[in-house]
Amino acid sequence: MDDYKRRDFIKLSALGFASIALQLNSVTSYAQMANGHLGKWDANTKLNWDAFLEKLSKLAKTQHELPWDQKEYTQKVKKLLLQCDFPEFKNVKKEFDNYENRIPNWFESTSLHNEVDFQVSLFQFEKGEYISHHDHPDMTGVINVVSGNALLKNYTIEEQLKGSRKVLKNGREYLKKRCLLKEIENEVCKARDVSILTAHEGNIHSLMPNEYTQLVDVFTPSYKRTTNSKWYKVNEDGFYQNRKNIFEAEY
């Protein structure tokens, strides 16, 4: 009888331990949520994935409270990103471990989370997989370098220029317009550096990875089927009419 009880106790103990282990992630998440409600959440608190999404979801809703201060919002998103150790998150680590360079000379992208108000995306680049100048219409973007380094350039439209031209591409006719862009950032960003763009400042950017590079980006709001990004051909041979940091572009 004593042997039976002992075996039964060992079995129950093992099952209980397994059950507790399975709940550790939830317990950690709830503990972080509780700390936040008690005012113990500060800029140094490390966030797990669930806590990060909870905070970001709440923050992203401020875009509906007009006027929306995009500079303040993106700075708060930056702080949240810097509170995360993304390689330690199970879903992100899975993407890292299963990485394949499926499209030569182009980046690999994965949606980590997507809802109407915002999206979180993972981008992975081989060295030299350049993304040329493009915009994110009516959106903010906060780009967190997780590993590697890349040259990021950001521009704001300074003015529209007169004159346009028609071009044929794949049997369709397109109208090319001209504008002036003001360069507001030209920096090599390394791990834990963050680059920011808003709908009205630095919204046009390009990216050149100098080595294998991983980024986690937050776009607010998320992309829609109707989102139509523009691609810009920027003349970077020199400043437009010797105006410092002003470049001519066609789009």
pLDDT at residue 138, as a whole number? 96
Sketch out the chain's domains with CATH numbers. Answer: 42-250 (2.60.120.10)
pLDDT at residue 44, as a whole number? 78
Residue 7 or 249, more confident: 249
Q: Given pLDDT bands bounded at 50, 70 and 90, which one contains residue 2?
A: low
DSSP calls for 186-238 = EEEEETT-EEEE-SSSS-EEEEEESSSEEEEEEEES---TT----B-EE--SS
pTM over 0.85: no
Across the range 35-41, mean pLDDT stands at 51
Among residues 226, 228, 248, which one has the least CA distance to residue 236? 248
**Lowest-pLDDT choice from 28-32, 141-145, 166-170:** 28-32
Q: Given pLDDT bands bounded at 50, 70 and 90, which one contains residue 34?
A: very low
- Report the distance separating Cα 93 and Cα 5, nearest Å: 42
- Report the distance separating Cα 136 and Cα 175, nearest Å: 20
pLDDT at residue 41, as a whole number? 63
pLDDT above 80: residue 148: yes
Across the range 89-109, mean pLDDT stands at 96
Q: How far is CA 58 from CA 25, 141, 168, 217, in A?
A: 21, 17, 46, 17
